[in-house]
């Protein structure tokens, strides 16, 4: 058997496993900007939450599809597609829309994790729906889906240190010291909150995680 035959067999087995596992029922989307330049910046809190989950569980999010890095898995008892859009933050909705259209996923079954400057570093807030609140990635998702009825997990990254500080510079800055420790813990809790949304709904997740 040649190396090509081996790869073909492995791919066939993977497809069979995916098919046996059932259809995708939910999308779990972490927002951020692609590239090493943006790694561990405040704006990449959504990416970081997914990365934390991958490190803990061995889940892989490494296939390019729908303008995003994706990976399939079981999460909260459901089959989900984990997504890290690669379009840069302001166009995140394009990837979400493409995946939602393909799998016929309604907004109510799309969980989005993202940074929020109105929350202290490491604080979480779960919402079942709502406006973008100034977050451009969420704004684009609302535009592309023509709906704001998707649950979300907001991850606190802290407010600007003073009013004159440029917002773009702030959200693209990296966590340091105590903030780094807080965001590590928050990344894990954010995925636990997302899993609770999938399992029991956003109200249950909000009761359990808001303010954590």
Cite the annotated binding site for tRNA by residue number.
38, 88, 90, 136
Q: Quick one: which of 193, 165, 164, 94 has its CA closest to 136?
A: 94
Cβ neighbours around 73 below 10 Å, total:
19
Q: Quick one: which of 196, 77, 79, 188 has its CA closest to 126?
A: 196
Asked if 50 contacts 191 with a C-beta cutoff of 8 angstroms, the reply is yes
State how far the Cα of 161 lies from the Cα of 7, in Å rounded to an integer: 52
Please provide the DSSP assignment of 32-43 as one string: ---SGGGTTBGG
HEC string of 68-89?
EEEEEEEECCEEEEEEEECCCH
Residue 43 annotated as catalytic: yes
Element (H, E) at 156: strand 152-156
Q: Measured between alpha carbons, how far is residue 193 from residues 51, 100, 163 in Å?
A: 15, 21, 31
Query: Among residues 27, 41, 43, 137, which one is catalytic?
Result: 43
For residue 183, the cross-strand partners are none
CA dihedral 162, 163, 166, 169 (to 10 degrees): 30
Residues making up the annotated binding site are: 38, 88, 90, 136
> Active-site positions?
43
């Amino acid at each position: 058997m040649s190396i090509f035959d081996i790869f073909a067999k492995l791919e066939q087995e993977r497809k069979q496993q995916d098919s046996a596992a059932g259809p995708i029922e939910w999308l779990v989307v972490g927002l951020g900007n692609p590239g090493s330049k943006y790694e561990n910046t405040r704006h990449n809190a959504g990416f970081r939450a997914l990365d934390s989950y991958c490190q803990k569980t061995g889940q892989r999010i490494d296939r390019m599809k729908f303008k995003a890095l994706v990976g399939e898995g079981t999460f909260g008892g459901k089959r989900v597609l984990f997504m890290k859009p690669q379009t840069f933050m302001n166009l995140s909705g394009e990837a979400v829309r493409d995946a939602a259209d393909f799998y016929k996923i309604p907004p109510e079954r799309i969980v989005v994790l993202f940074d929020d400057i109105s929350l202290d570093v490491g604080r979480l807030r779960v919402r079942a729906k709502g406006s973008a609140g100034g977050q451009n990635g969420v704004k684009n998702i609302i535009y592309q889906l023509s709906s704001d009825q998707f649950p979300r997990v907001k991850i606190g990254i802290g407010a600007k240190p003073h009013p004159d500080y440029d917002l773009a510079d702030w959200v693209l800055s990296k966590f340091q010291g105590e903030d780094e420790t807080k965001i590590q813990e928050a990344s894990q809790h954010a995925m636990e909150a997302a899993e609770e949304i999938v399992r029991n709904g956003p109200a249950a997740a909000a009761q359990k995680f808001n303010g954590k």
